[in-house]
């Protein structure tokens, strides 16, 4: 790294497109709050330019990056090292340069678990079976987190059954079972947690069509969708008295260890930040 740049730490998020990313709002809020010298930029880079642009940005003094769609998997072969969390999730969302090597991790697992603990403090993942809807990268992060927290059983349900089976095969955990999409209502019987990781319910997408009738009243309901903040799923769960956990909290929490990696401070999520992010979502 260029030593003359060491005082001022340049970071950014790489995506294509990138204009809707909330990450610049989050990280620049923390840079300002903690009085740090640095900047966090939105970097619009098409997949074909990822390798050359990454090298150029590092030469220009960038110390770290977040990655978003469509780069989270594409960046893996460009890293010198990725950690076990990124490996099992199969996606990297955070990069940093250390000893001239490009290193990658995935902070979505941390973001999901920390947000769950903050919003549903009375629950433990050990309490009983968790039902996870979806089998994409987000589901992999959620499932890794639930397993690490000691979930005794995870019922994985995805529209495309083969994708759920592939995920279960990759994880090789006996407590991770799959069920068909048509079985999702029945799978809620005796569950201790429901998590939606699909894109259903997101603005512009159809809602998630599920009956919560069989879900025990003390089971929290999580949606990783954050736009809108209250999805139809969360509205329905709230009306039935379930604790609800929205996706915005996961987004904010996953940003914390990335910021710490680059700036040496594990930042707090304060009210001003939540207001700014909600404003940006409008």
Q: What positions carry a catalytic annotation?
A: 72
166 counts as binding ligand ATR under rule CB under 6 A: no
Q: What is the DSSP letter of 9?
A: E
Q: Are 64 and 35 in contact (CB under 8 A)?
A: no
Rounded CA-CA distance 124/118 in Å is 12
Pick one of 11, 93, 178, 198: the residue that binds ligand ATR (CB under 6 A): 198
Q: How far apart are the first and last CA of the chain?
A: 38
Q: How far is the CB of 153 from ligand ATR (least distance, A)?
A: 20
151 counts as binding ligand ATR under rule CB under 6 A: no
244 counts as binding ligand ATR under rule CB under 6 A: no
Whether the bond between 70 and the residue before it is cis, its omega within 30 degrees of 0, is yes
Q: Are 266 and 19 in contact (CB under 8 A)?
A: no
182 counts as binding ligand ATR under rule CB under 6 A: no
Q: Judging by DSSP bridges, how do beta strands 9-15 and 38-44 pair with one another? A: parallel
163 counts as binding ligand ATR under rule CB under 6 A: yes
Enter the tokens of residue 225.
């969708």
Q: Which residue is nearest to ligand ATR (CB)?
A: 136
136 counts as binding ligand ATR under rule CB under 6 A: yes
Q: Which stretch binds ligand ATR (CB under 6 A): 41-49, 133-141, 264-272, 273-281?
A: 133-141
Rounded CA-CA distance 69/107 in Å is 15
21 counts as binding ligand ATR under rule CB under 6 A: no
Q: How far is the CB of 159 from ligand ATR (least distance, A)?
A: 3
Binding residues for ligand ATR (CB under 6 A): 134-139, 158-160, 163, 197-200, 206
């Amino acid at each position: 790294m260029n030593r003359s740049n060491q005082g001022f730490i340049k970071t950014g998020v790489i995506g294509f497109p990138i204009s809707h990313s909330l990450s610049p709002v989050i990280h620049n809020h923390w840079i300002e709050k903690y009085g740090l010298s640095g900047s966090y930029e939105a970097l619009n880079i098409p997949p074909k330019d990822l390798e050359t642009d990454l090298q150029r940005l590092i030469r220009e003094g960038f110390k770290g990056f977040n990655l978003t769609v469509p780069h989270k998997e594409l960046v893996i072969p460009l890293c010198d090292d990725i950690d076990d969390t990124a490996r099992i999730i199969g996606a990297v969302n955070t990069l940093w340069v250390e000893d001239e090597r490009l290193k990658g991790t995935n902070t979505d697992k941390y973001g999901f678990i920390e947000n769950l603990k903050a919003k549903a403090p009375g629950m433990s993942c050990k309490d009983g079976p968790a039902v996870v809807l979806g089998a994409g990268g987000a589901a992999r992060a959620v499932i890794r987190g639930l397993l690490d927290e000691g979930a005794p059983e995870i019922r994985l349900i995805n529209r495309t059954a083969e994708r759920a089976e592939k995920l279960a095969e990759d994880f090789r955990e006996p407590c991770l079972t799959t069920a068909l999409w048509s079985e999702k209502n029945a799978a809620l019987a005796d569950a201790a947690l429901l998590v939606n990781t699909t894109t259903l319910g997101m603005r512009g997408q159809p809602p998630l069509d599920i009956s919560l009738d069989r879900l025990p009243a003390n089971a929290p309901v999580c949606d990783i969708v954050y736009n809108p903040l209250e999805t139809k799923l969360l509205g329905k769960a709230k009306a039935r008295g379930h604790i609800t956990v929205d996706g915005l909290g996961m987004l904010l929490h996953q940003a914390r260890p990335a910021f710490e990696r680059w700036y040496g401070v594990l930042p707090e999520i304060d009210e001003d930040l939540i207001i700014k992010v909600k404003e940006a979502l409008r």
